[in-house]
Structure 1
């Protein structure tokens, strides 16, 4: 990994959705840079383009114009297969909906990304259990999602996102389905992973209280970035 250049560099990114004769521009010539080890929050009103931004920066959605580089590689100069492989190797995802496989145990859910990229089963299981221990679920390894609380399920998704040691984790409203206590616990975990292990995280949230906890907060409106503040600036503004 080359720490001399930004982990993520997006330049002039534009995304337009078309339905029949109707066009909606979700991202408008957007620029964003994320350095290695940053924890960046993205906030904005509904329809401002937050989720579209994450989908385009991760290569889940195509873009209509611009350039997105992750680890120095242009995502949209890759073939679909290359982009899928890069995403599996370099990115982790945490969503508002936990997206766990109901019939799998916590360990089986977490090891799945490793198995899909060719990690030997014994190593995959050991790494999955180690990551579940890291997120405080050592006693829930053999439990299925229906046997876990909402907060515990989200911890499993975080473990799954981190088990392949990705360069960046994309988190889209990771506390949206949780009560305030569980949301606080999940944010404690994410901030600790960033602080203690240098994990780069880009996190979409609508919660102002969560936004105030983040070292850097980017705000969006109508598909554009309208502010980009560091924590010291946020504290002064508060």
Structure 2
């Protein structure tokens, strides 16, 4: 698969309201008397159409950052606004519905339902949000064709390769036309050849205008985005500390 040229955000993107805005976000996990400060006062904006890569050492808060900014986890302090909505100003039910309607997720472990076909896995987010069954089926088939799996739509996850399963998760993430897609180590469970195909697919999706935030340990993938955010000890440095990395902005994080 040929990877298309990356599109850059509009030159006035920073003057527009961000699609995601986080201010002062903190998260602490407590086990008995032990505390882990996973996030410490994080500020971050993501604008529409950006491809933002998040990197950093294991255990330093990357996945927690994704989970908190997407509303999968609660936060202790701060605010997170996504697509114009204050995530933690909503009830749990409203946040779940907003997440289903306006966000997509791609996980390392795929998280596909094993008893459902690829088509049924992809159409599920639409059915949950009330899309009529016929329309959901049609949209799911279109998305599977888009990721190159039209001929595998009737297969269950156990009948698909790892790369094919990850393509199903990408189709599922995109099917509801979300404002933002979150990807947590999308190539982490794949061999290098298969991972390369997923990287190309993510860049194709971004080139079509999709906003993505990708957590990764893959240095090549991390440097291929428009912006590289480094997370260390749960902190993100001030934007005044930006440095250029491979033509893209790196936001260095330190304790």
Q: Which ranges of structure 1 fall in alignment gaps of 5 or more residues?
A: none
Match of 2:193 among 177, 181, 184: 181
Equivalent residue for 2:151, pick from 117, 139, 146: 139
Distance 1:109 1:142 in 2: 10
Q: Do the aligned residues in 2 keep the contact of 1:54 with 1:170 (CA within 8 Å)?
A: yes
Equivalent of 1:232, from 247, 250, 254?
A: 247
Q: 1:233: how far off?
A: 4.2
The separation in 2 between residues aligned to 1:141 and 1:189, in whole angstroms, is 18
Q: How does 1:186-201 map to 2 (within 5 A)?
A: 186-195=198-207, 197-201=208-212
Within the candidate set 207, 214, 219, 2:230 is matched to 219
The two structures have a TM-score, normalised by structure 1, of 0.94
* 1:219–1:228 CA contact under 8 A, matched in 2: no
How far off is 1:68 after superposition? 0.4
Give the Cα–Cα distance (whole angstroms) in 2 for the partners of residues 202 and 234 of structure 1.
Answer: 14
Deviations, residues 175-215 of structure 1 (Å, cap 9, x unaligned): 000000111100100111101x2100000001111112112
Deviation at 1:234, TM superposition (A): 6.5
Q: Is the 8 A contact 1:16 1:27 kept in 2?
A: yes
Question: Aligned partners of 2:26 and 2:249: how far apart in 1?
Answer: 28
Q: 1:112 to 1:21 in 2, by over 3 A?
A: same
Task: Please name the residue that 2:130 is paired with.
Answer: 118
Is the counterpart of residue 49 in structure 1 residue 64 in structure 2?
A: no
The 8 Å contact of residues 227 and 248 in structure 2, kept in 1 or not, is answered as no
Within 5 A, what are the aligned runs for 1:21-32? 21-32=33-44
Equivalent-residue separation in structure 1 for 2:90 and 2:115 (angstroms): 35
Alignment partners' CA distance in 2, 1:97 and 1:228: 32
Tell me the residue number matched to 2:215.
204
State which of 21, 33, 46 in structure 1 corresponds to 2:45. 33
Give the alignment of 1:96-115 within 5 angstroms: 96-115=108-127
Change (3 A) 1:25 1:129: same
Contact 1:216 1:229 in 2 (8 A): no
Write the distance in 1 (CA, Å) between the matches of 2:229 and 2:38: 16
Cα distance in structure 2, aligned partners of 1:220 and 1:49: 7
TM-score, normalised to structure 2, is 0.88
Classify 1:48/1:109 alpha carbon distance in 2 versus 1 (closer, same or farther; 3 Å).
same
Cα deviation digits, residues 84-109 of structure 1 (max 9, x gap): 11101110010000111112111011
CA RMSD of aligned residues (A): 1.5
Gaps of at least 5 residues in structure 2 are: 1-12, 251-255
